[in-house]
């Protein structure tokens, strides 16, 4: 099983800026932890970050038929990007949406996700640990759909 981990705009700043909001763990550390967890679970993990909406759409297109599922933190595009939802749905890529912060406890413009209605599940507000929880949940959900690890 191959799982993609997609991070959107500004998440390359994780652990570098605003640690009081997003924590002190860097994106490279999160990706390394997910790769290790993937090994433990018997799945290949491929991590990508982009600041561009179109670039994220292109990345999803490139995953069609290659990845069985994805973990997606689309950053601020989560709240605006119908294009990204269309790509995920159009490429038939099952995904779990992740937010490091509890978007429902933040400003009104962050309280709606364009992606959530098409996600298998959503993990919010648990910090960067949420990525690992999402990976475990996604693998279980894909196993239940008959995808072998
Ligand atoms: O809570 C999340 O994971 C978010 O997706 C993070 C996005 C934000 O726009 C969403 O509303 C919620 C922002 C990512 C910015 O990441 C930074 C990390 C460190 C320093 C500055 C920005």
Report strand pairing: 2-7 vs 44-49.
parallel
Q: Give the number of the atom of ligand 1 that is nearest the alpha carbon of residue 99.
A: 3
- For residue 120, which of 70, 78, 46 has the smallest C-alpha distance? 70
Report strand pairing: 69-73 vs 95-99.
parallel
Q: Which residues are catalytic?
A: 22, 99
Record the pTM.
Answer: 0.98
CATH no., domain 2-144: 3.40.50.9100
**Mutation choice for ligand 1 from 7, 99, 133, 134, CB with most ligand atoms inside 8 A:** 99
Q: Give the number of the atom of ligand 1 that is nearest the alpha carbon of residue 101.
A: 1
Query: Contact, 100 vs 113, CB < 8 A?
Result: no
DSSP state letter for 146:
T
The CA 37 to ligand 1 mean position distance, Å, reads 23
Q: Tell me, what's the pLDDT at 17?
A: 87
Query: Contact, 38 vs 30, CB < 8 A?
Result: no
Instruction: Quick: pLDDT tens for 89-119.
Output: 999 999 999 999 999 999 999 999 999 999 9
Distance CA 73, CA 99 (A): 6
Residue closest by Cα to atom 7 of ligand 1: 75
Share of the chain above pLDDT 90, in %: 98
């Amino acid at each position: 099983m191959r799982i993609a981990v997609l991070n959107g705009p500004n998440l390359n700043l994780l652990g570098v800026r605003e640690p009081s909001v997003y924590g002190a763990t860097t994106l490279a550390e999160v990706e390394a932890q997910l790769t290790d967890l993937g090994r433990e679970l018997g799945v290949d993990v491929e991590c990508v970050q982009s600041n561009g909406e179109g670039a994220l759409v292109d990345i999803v297109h490139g995953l069609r038929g290659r990845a069985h599922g994805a973990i997606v933190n689309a950053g601020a595009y989560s709240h605006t990007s119908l294009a990204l939802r269309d790509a995920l749905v159009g490429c038939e890529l099952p995904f779990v949406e992740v937010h490091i912060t509890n978007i429902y406890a933040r400003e009104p413009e962050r309280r709606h996700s364009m992606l959530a209605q098409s996600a298998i599940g959503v993990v919010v507000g648990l910090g960067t640990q949420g990525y690992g929880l999402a990976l475990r949940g996604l693998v279980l959900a894909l196993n239940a759909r008959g995808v072998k690890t």
